[in-house]
Structure 1
Amino acid sequence: MKLKKFAAAVSAALMLAVFTAAPALAADEIEVNEDISVSGDYDWTRFANDHITLNVYNNGLYISDGSDDSVNVVSAFEDLTGIKVNYTTYDSNESLYAKLKSGGVSYDVIFPSDYMVGKMINEGMLAELDMDNIPNIAGVGETYLDRSFDPGNKYSVPYMWGTTGLIYNTTMVEEPPTKWADMWDVEYTNNVLMFNNSRDAYAIAAKVAGLSMNPQSVDEITAITEKLKEQKNIVQAYVMDEVFDKMEGGEAAMAPYYAGDAITMIDENPDLAFVHPEEGVNFFIDNMCVPANAKHKEAAEMFINYMCETSIGLANCDFIGYSTPLTAVWEELDDDLKYSEIAYPSQEVLDKAEVFNTLPDDINAAMDAQWSEMKSYEEGGNGWMVVVMLLVAIAISAFNIWRKLRKKSRDNY
Structure 2
Amino acid sequence: MKKLMSMIVAILAVVAGLALWSANLKKTQGATGENTLNFANWGDYIDPALIKKFEKQTGYHVNQETFDSNEAMYTKIQQGGTSYDLTVPSEYMVEKMIKAKMLIPLDKSKLTGLKNFGSLYMNRSFDPGNKYSLPYFWGTLGIIYNDQYVKRSEVEHWEDLWNKKWRGDIMLIDSARDILGFSLVSMGKSMNTTNPTTLQLAKTKLDALSPNVKAVVADEIKMYMAEGEAPLAVDWSGEAADMMWDNSHLHYVVPTEGSNLWFDNFVIPKTAKHLKAVYAFLNFMNDPKNAAQNADYVGYSTPNDAALRRLPKKVQNDKQFYPDQDVIRRSEVYKDLAPKTVGLYNDLFLEFKMFRK
Q: Residue 296 of structure 1 aligns to which amino acid in structure 2?
A: H
Q: Is residue 337 from structure 1 mapped to residue 315 from structure 2 by the alignment?
A: yes
- Counterparts of 1:256 and 1:77, CA distance in 2: 36
Q: 1:136 to 1:243 in 2, by over 3 A?
A: same
Residue-by-residue CA offset, 1:317-375 (whole Å, 9 max, x unaligned) = 21223222222212222211111111211233223222222323432232233334443
Q: Residue 191 of structure 1 aligns to which amino acid in structure 2?
A: D
- Counterparts of 1:239 and 1:300, CA distance in 2: 35
Partner of 1:132: 109
Residue-by-residue CA offset, 1:6-40 (whole Å, 9 max, x unaligned) = xxxxxxxxxxxxxxxxxxxxxxxxxxxxxxxxxxx
1:13-24 mapped onto 2 (5 Å cutoff): none
Q: Is residue 242 from structure 1 mapped to residue 220 from structure 2 by the alignment?
A: yes
Partner of 1:159: 136
Q: 1:193 to 1:53 in 2, by over 3 A?
A: farther
Identity of aligned residues (%): 36
1:1-400 mapped onto 2 (5 Å cutoff): 50=33, 52-65=35-48, 72-173=49-150, 176-375=154-353, 377-379=354-356
- Whether the 8 Å CA contact 1:160–1:325 is kept in 2: the answer is yes
Pick which of 172-181 and 205-214 moved more: 172-181
Residue-by-residue CA offset, 1:290-316 (whole Å, 9 max, x unaligned) = 122233333223222221111110101
- Counterparts of 1:107 and 1:202, CA distance in 2: 33
Q: Residue 242 of structure 2 aligns to which amino acid in structure 1?
A: T
- Whether the 8 Å CA contact 2:43–2:67 is kept in 1: the answer is yes
Q: 1:335 to 1:284 in 2, by over 3 A?
A: same
- Whether the 8 Å CA contact 1:203–1:213 is kept in 2: the answer is yes
- Whether the 8 Å CA contact 1:244–1:265 is kept in 2: the answer is yes
Q: Residue 40 of structure 2 aligns to which amino acid in structure 1?
A: Y
For residue 57 of structure 1, report the CA deviation from its aligned partner.
2.1
- Counterparts of 2:54 and 2:278, CA distance in 1: 12
Q: Secondary structure at the match of 1:135?
A: coil
Pick which of 213-222 and 167-176 moved more: 167-176
CA RMSD after TM alignment: 2.4
For residue 103 of structure 1, report the CA deviation from its aligned partner.
4.3
- Whether the 8 Å CA contact 1:129–1:301 is kept in 2: the answer is no
Whichever of the two has the greater Rg, that structure is 1
Which consecutive residues of structure 1, in runs of 5 or more, have no partner in the other structure? Answer: 1-48, 66-71, 381-413
Q: 1:298 to 1:217 in 2, by over 3 A?
A: farther
- Counterparts of 2:79 and 2:211, CA distance in 1: 33
Q: Residue 79 of structure 1 aligns to which amino acid in structure 2?
A: K
For residue 212 of structure 1, report the CA deviation from its aligned partner.
0.9
- Counterparts of 1:248 and 1:103, CA distance in 2: 40
- Whether the 8 Å CA contact 1:160–1:286 is kept in 2: the answer is yes
Q: Secondary structure at the match of 2:309?
A: helix
Residue-by-residue CA offset, 1:207-228 (whole Å, 9 max, x unaligned) = 1232111113233332223333
Q: Residue 358 of structure 1 aligns to which amino acid in structure 2?
A: D
Q: Residue 135 of structure 1 aligns to which amino acid in structure 2?
A: T
Q: Secondary structure at the match of 1:340?
A: coil
Residue-by-residue CA offset, 1:97-151 (whole Å, 9 max, x unaligned) = 3444454434222111212211111122222222233222232222222211111
Partner of 2:18: none
Q: 1:234 to 1:98 in 2, by over 3 A?
A: farther
Which consecutive residues of structure 2, in runs of 5 or more, have no partner in the other structure? Answer: 1-31
- Counterparts of 1:233 and 1:102, CA distance in 2: 42
- Counterparts of 1:249 and 1:100, CA distance in 2: 38
Pick which of 289-298 and 312-321 moved more: 289-298
For residue 186 of structure 1, report the CA deviation from its aligned partner.
4.3
- Counterparts of 1:295 and 1:254, CA distance in 2: 46
Q: Residue 38 of structure 2 aligns to which amino acid in structure 1?
A: N
Q: 1:121 to 1:250 in 2, by over 3 A?
A: same
- Whether the 8 Å CA contact 2:41–2:67 is kept in 1: the answer is yes
Q: 1:186 to 1:159 in 2, by over 3 A?
A: same
Q: Secondary structure at the match of 1:250?
A: coil
- Counterparts of 1:308 and 1:345, CA distance in 2: 22
Q: Residue 84 of structure 2 aligns to which amino acid in structure 1?
A: Y
Q: Secondary structure at the match of 1:216?
A: coil
Q: Residue 197 of structure 2 aligns to which amino acid in structure 1?
A: D
Q: 1:231 to 1:130 in 2, by over 3 A?
A: same
- Counterparts of 2:46 and 2:154, CA distance in 1: 32
The alignment's TM-score, normalised by the length of structure 2, stands at 0.82
